[in-house]
Amino acid sequence: MLLCVALFAGCILPKSELKARPSLRAVLGESFRLLGNRCLLAGLVASLGSAFGFGIFVSFLPLHAAAYGLDPAQVGFVFAAQALTNVFGRVPVGMALDRIPLSRIIAAGLFCFAFGLSAIGTADSVVSLSAWTVMLGGGMALTYTGVGALVAKAVPPVQRGLAMGMYNSSVY
């Protein structure tokens, strides 16, 4: 299935212009120069911080849930609540980005993320855990979609690929 998707993408994606392959030294130099872009740096910090928070969520939610007697299926439901909110929230967030300032979207996302992650510690049932993980997923949708748009706006086209690579590295 994945092979079919890869072949399909290879056939329909546009060809890009081939450029001279830069040296490792040039790439590193450009990376450090890009860190001087305050908008990009703010986006990278927001992404990296929330990625650490997500790591905490993934690592400790099963332990917290087990302490309250949730079975593996219920824990899976809680994870699904977060993931589905994150995935399906990104399209409406993208539409909102055309009308609402990026800074507000990203700030709201980080607030929802932090509040949802913090509130998970107070949850004692599958319903309360799911509610807080929906807030966490919504915060991720707001933050990551907003930061992606920020990177596209804040960086010149010739450096956009490098900047997007830096952004995606900060997410993981």
Which of 151, 149, 147, 139 has the alpha carbon at shortest distance from 110? 139
Read off the pLDDT of residues 48-86 as tens digits, 9 standing for 90 and up: 999 999 999 999 999 999 999 999 999 999 999 999 999
Q: Whole-prediction pTM value?
A: 0.85
Read off the pLDDT of residues 89-101 as tens digits, 9 standing for 90 and up: 999 999 999 999 9
Whole-angstrom CA distances from 145 to 17, 28, 73 are 27, 26, 29
**Does the structure show a pLDDT above 70 at 135?**
yes
Give the residue with greater pLDDT, 76 vs 5: 76
Kindly list the domain boundaries of the chain, sorted by start residue.
42-171
**Does the structure show a pLDDT above 70 at 157?**
yes
CA 106 – CA 17 distance, rounded (Å): 33
- The CATH superfamily label for domain 42-171 reads MFS general substrate transporter like domains (1.20.1250.20)
Whole-angstrom CA distances from 133 to 9, 93, 128, 141 are 33, 18, 9, 12
End-to-end Cα, the chain, rounded Å: 25
pLDDT at 18: 61
pLDDT at 60: 94
Q: Find out whether 86 and 140 touch, Cβ atoms under 8 Å.
A: yes
pLDDT at 20: 66
Angle at 144 between CA 172 and CA 151, to 5 degrees: 95
Give the residue with greater pLDDT, 5 vs 136: 136
